[in-house]
């Protein structure tokens, strides 16, 4: 092992490599035993623990081994561990746990290197090269509700984390731009605006209101209903007049969606349901030729073990549906786009749909039989957004929550809080506005991401905009305070980065340093388990470690000033990277 061991980004994996060598030396007859290394739960057990001795003992005890028990196996593993700059000491405790203490010097050096080379050098490299993240995906002319907000926020974060981890991500907006509702919308458009060509967004006004009005008419007026049904046939048959009207309605919706994405700074490429239309027939034919598709009550379905109902892929009128489109989109993503990992972000209510068409794809041999090996598909489900009354989230005035109104309110409230603290007198109006936006939108995003995504969460402005506790406001302020400590030192931090030395002598400096070095490992875990909350927890703990360090270690004016300023800077850099991955804009003063 090289004496000068560089930090490769994942402490756990780096240590596991050392233990792999020692396992092969200690028990050469058991080459398939994998090293088991994990972060220690408590400081008294060191920084990491290797947990191989007990398991290994149970494998070898009946085979005439020289070892007397698990602790002896542990001792042998420690003895044959290659010397490495990263390890300070190793000891065997209890029934054979190996406690590893990392070298503070090595840790400090690794942080110094990051300060020079940038935090991207810590980025993990996942084994997959290209992924699709299918997220946001609202439906044309229907409301873009808080469920779509959750999908947008969670999907964007997953995409960002994967991109950081060297994965090429195709960010897909699987917009609901096809289906029978368009017959009714188009007929209503013709009725209201006979001169369809010149209809503008402003003339139609709110598309949701338009949708409701056309639905109302559809439900009450038989003649209209009939016309709407014929319109669907014409549209699907490719009638240019109907296609044009359809395109117009889609365009108006798209402009609305784009405003939300721009505000949230989320990038997406639209490949809506209609995009896959030209491929559906051949994909269903492929499934048919594999013997998967059967006739049932006039429809064509796939029967799947473990499900009470079959998956319908062709309706009795010969039309395709949500499932046929999703199967085709999956086929396209695997074969045309060569994606190895396809991730779908929707509410948990759609879980059955995903489980069913994933199963059909496995039956067709498109995918392996589990959701861990590649090509891999995962449904990232999330819970409901609840109002403070515990019921489904609604606003007073309308029965749906408009996303733009939510974002407006978050910004207004955070601006008021800043004005209350006198910031309007200290800052320019632009600074005030930008900070209010960063804090307001950041608060909405973080409140969503910090929860385990599967649980329902209560939307509360009061809670998310609180500057204490686990909120974006608290974290953004914490970052701004670190920046101010650095500014107040009067030192040129970029110069210090090049020449200054960092030491982790104090216990709180060391704990902070160790947490910093666990960043990449955390991102990797958040990616593989598709859990943004893991990164939020890391970020919150980082700010707690910093607080402890700052209250116990004097920075400015102390003999350790240079080293401690560098530690402040490293913390600020990693915090900013976390914000970036969570889609939150950092602020530098507060």
What are the backbone dihedrals phi and psi of residue 398, each rounded to the nearest 5 degrees, phi first? -115, 170
Q: How far is the CB of 171 from ligand ARG (least distance, A)?
A: 13
Among the listed residues 176, 183, 381, 583, the single contact to ligand ARG using CB under 6 A: 176
Torsion of CA 424, 586, 131, 38, to 10 degrees: -140
Stretch that binds ligand ARG, among 137-145, 258-266, 445-453, 561-569 (CB under 6 A): 137-145
Q: Which two tokens stand for residue 336?
A: 């045309």
Q: How far is the CB of 317 from ligand ARG (least distance, A)?
A: 22
Q: Which 450-479 residues touch ligand ARG, going by CB under 6 A?
A: none
Q: How far is the CB of 136 from ligand ARG (least distance, A)?
A: 8
Q: How far is the CB of 257 from ligand ARG (least distance, A)?
A: 12
Residue 354 Cα distances to 281, 430, 526, 536, angstroms: 20, 45, 22, 27
Among the listed residues 109, 150, 174, 227, the single contact to ligand ARG using CB under 6 A: 174
Contact call for residue 346 and ligand ARG (CB under 6 A): yes
Q: Which two tokens stand for residue 441?
A: 């939108």
- Distance CA(522)–CA(39), nearest Å, equals 11
Q: How far is the CB of 349 from ligand ARG (least distance, A)?
A: 8
Stretch that binds ligand ARG, among 134-142, 181-189, 447-455, 472-480 (CB under 6 A): 134-142
Contact call for residue 137 and ligand ARG (CB under 6 A): yes
Closest CA to 503 of 574, 563, 569: 563
CB neighbour list of residue 65: distance below 8 Å, 6 or more residues apart: none
Among the listed residues 84, 139, 236, 471, the single contact to ligand ARG using CB under 6 A: 139
Among the listed residues 210, 242, 344, 538, the single contact to ligand ARG using CB under 6 A: 344
- Distance CA(321)–CA(315), nearest Å, equals 7
Contact call for residue 110 and ligand ARG (CB under 6 A): no
- Residue 36 in 3-state DSSP? coil
Contact call for residue 171 and ligand ARG (CB under 6 A): no
Contact call for residue 272 and ligand ARG (CB under 6 A): no
Stretch that binds ligand ARG, among 130-138, 467-475, 486-494, 582-590 (CB under 6 A): 130-138
Number of residues that bind ligand ARG (CB under 6 A): 10
Beta carbons of 303 and 291 less than 8 angstroms apart: no
Q: How far is the CB of 523 from ligand ARG (least distance, A)?
A: 25
Q: How far is the CB of 137 from ligand ARG (least distance, A)?
A: 4
Q: How far is the CB of 341 from ligand ARG (least distance, A)?
A: 14
Q: Which is nearer to ligand ARG, 14 or 346 (by Cβ)?
A: 346
Contact call for residue 9 and ligand ARG (CB under 6 A): no
Contact call for residue 134 and ligand ARG (CB under 6 A): yes
Q: Which two tokens stand for residue 481?
A: 């305070």
Q: How far is the CB of 148 from ligand ARG (least distance, A)?
A: 6
Cα 299-303-309 angle, rounded to 5 deg: 80
Q: How far is the CB of 452 from ligand ARG (least distance, A)?
A: 21
Q: Which two tokens stand for residue 331?
A: 């086929």
Q: Which two tokens stand for residue 59?
A: 């494998």
Among the listed residues 187, 256, 326, 524, the single contact to ligand ARG using CB under 6 A: 326
Beta carbons of 186 and 249 less than 8 angstroms apart: yes
Stretch that binds ligand ARG, among 15-23, 131-139, 158-166, 504-512 (CB under 6 A): 131-139
Binding mask 361-400 for ligand ARG (x = CB under 6 A): ----------------------------------------
β-partners of residue 428 are none
Contact call for residue 521 and ligand ARG (CB under 6 A): no
Q: Which two tokens stand for residue 68?
A: 């007397």
Contact call for residue 253 and ligand ARG (CB under 6 A): no
CB neighbour list of residue 297: distance below 8 Å, 6 or more residues apart: 316
- Residue 342 in 3-state DSSP? strand
Q: Which 208-237 residues touch ligand ARG, going by CB under 6 A?
A: none
Q: How far is the CB of 275 from ligand ARG (least distance, A)?
A: 11
Segment (H or E) for 582 = none
- Residue 423 in 3-state DSSP? helix
CB neighbour list of residue 49: distance below 8 Å, 6 or more residues apart: 37, 38, 39, 40, 97, 98, 99, 100
Q: Which is nearer to ligand ARG, 104 or 311 (by Cβ)?
A: 311
Stretch that binds ligand ARG, among 136-144, 364-372, 470-478, 483-491 (CB under 6 A): 136-144
- Spell out where 417-570 has E strands: 457-458
Q: Which is nearer to ligand ARG, 346 or 543 (by Cβ)?
A: 346
Q: How far is the CB of 144 from ligand ARG (least distance, A)?
A: 9
Count CB-CB contacts under 10 A for residue 231. Answer: 25
Beta carbons of 170 and 128 less than 8 angstroms apart: no
Tell me the H-state helices in 221-303. 222-236, 240-264, 277-289
What are the backbone dihedrals phi and psi of residue 549, each rounded to the nearest 5 degrees, phi first? -60, -45
Question: How, if at all, do strands 48-50 and 293-296 pair?
Answer: unpaired
Interacting residues toward ligand ARG by CB under 6 A: 134, 137-139, 174, 176, 326, 329, 344, 346
């Amino acid at each position: 092992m090289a004496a000068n061991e560089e930090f490769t980004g994942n402490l756990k994996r780096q240590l596991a490599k050392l233990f792999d060598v020692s396992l092969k030396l200690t028990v050469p007859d058991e080459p398939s035993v994998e090293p088991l290394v994990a972060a220690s739960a408590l400081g008294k057990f060191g920084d990491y623990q290797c947990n191989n001795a007990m398991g290994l003992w149970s494998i070898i005890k009946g085979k005439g081994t020289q070892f007397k028990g698990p602790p002896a196996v542990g001792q042998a593993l420690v003895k044959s561990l290659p010397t490495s700059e990263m390890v300070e000491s190793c000891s065997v405790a209890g029934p054979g746990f190996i406690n590893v203490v990392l070298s503070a010097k090595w840790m400090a050096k690794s942080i110094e290197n990051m300060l020079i080379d940038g935090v991207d050098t810590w980025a993990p490299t996942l084994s997959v090269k290209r992924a699709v993240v299918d997220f946001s995906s609202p439906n044309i002319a229907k409301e873009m509700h808080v469920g779509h907000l959750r999908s947008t926020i969670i999907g964007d974060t997953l995409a960002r984390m994967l991109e950081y981890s060297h994965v090429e991500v195709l960010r897909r907006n699987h917009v609901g731009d096809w289906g029978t509702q368009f017959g009714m919308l188009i007929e209503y458009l013709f009725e209201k605006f006979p001169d369809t060509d010149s209809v503008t967004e402003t003339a139609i006004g709110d598309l949701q209101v338009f949708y409701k009005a056309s639905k109302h008419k559809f439900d009450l007026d038989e003649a209209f209903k009939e016309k709407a049904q014929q319109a669907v046939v014409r549209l699907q048959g490719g009638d240019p007049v109907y296609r044009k009207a359809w395109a117009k309605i889609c365009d108006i919706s798209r402009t609305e969606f784009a405003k939300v994405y721009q505000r949230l700074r989320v990038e997406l490429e639209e490949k809506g349901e209609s995009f896959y239309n030209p491929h559906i027939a051949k994909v269903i034919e492929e499934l048919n030729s594999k013997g998967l598709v059967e006739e049932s009550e006039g429809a064509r379905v796939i029967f799947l073990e473990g499900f009470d109902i079959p998956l319908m892929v062709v309706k009795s009128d010969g039309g395709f549906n949500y499932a046929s489109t999703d199967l085709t989109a999956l086929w396209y993503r695997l074969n045309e786009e060569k994606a190895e990992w396809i991730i779908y972000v929707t509410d948990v209510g759609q879980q059955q749909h995903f489980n069913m068409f994933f199963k059909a794809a496995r039956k067709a041999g498109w995918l392996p039989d589990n959701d861990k090996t590649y090509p891999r598909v995962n449904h990232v489900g999330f819970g409901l957004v609840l109002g403070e009354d515990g019921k489904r989230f609604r606003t007073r005035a309308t029965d749906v929550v408009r996303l733009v109104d939510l974002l407006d309110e978050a910004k207004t409230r955070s601006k008021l809080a800043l004005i209350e603290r006198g910031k309007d007198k200290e800052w320019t109006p632009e600074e005030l506005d930008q900070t209010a936006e960063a804090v307001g939108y950041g608060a909405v995003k973080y409140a969503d991401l910090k929860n385990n995504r599967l649980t329902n969460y209560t939307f509360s402005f009061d809670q998310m905009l609180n500057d204490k506790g686990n909120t974006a406001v608290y974290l953004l302020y914490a970052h701004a305070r670190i920046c101010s400590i650095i500014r107040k030192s009067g030192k040129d931090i970029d110069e210090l980065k090049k020449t200054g030395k960092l030491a982790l002598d104090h216990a709180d400096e060391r704990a902070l340093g160790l947490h910093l070095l666990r960043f990449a490992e955390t991102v990797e875990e958040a990616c593989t388990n598709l859990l943004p909350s893991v990164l939020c927890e890391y970020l919150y703990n980082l700010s707690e470690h910093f607080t402890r360090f700052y209250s116990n270690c004097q920075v400015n004016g102390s003999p350790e000033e240079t080293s401690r300023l560098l530690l402040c800077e490293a913390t600020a850099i990693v915090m900013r990277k976390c914000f970036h991955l969570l889609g939150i804009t950092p602020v530098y003063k507060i």
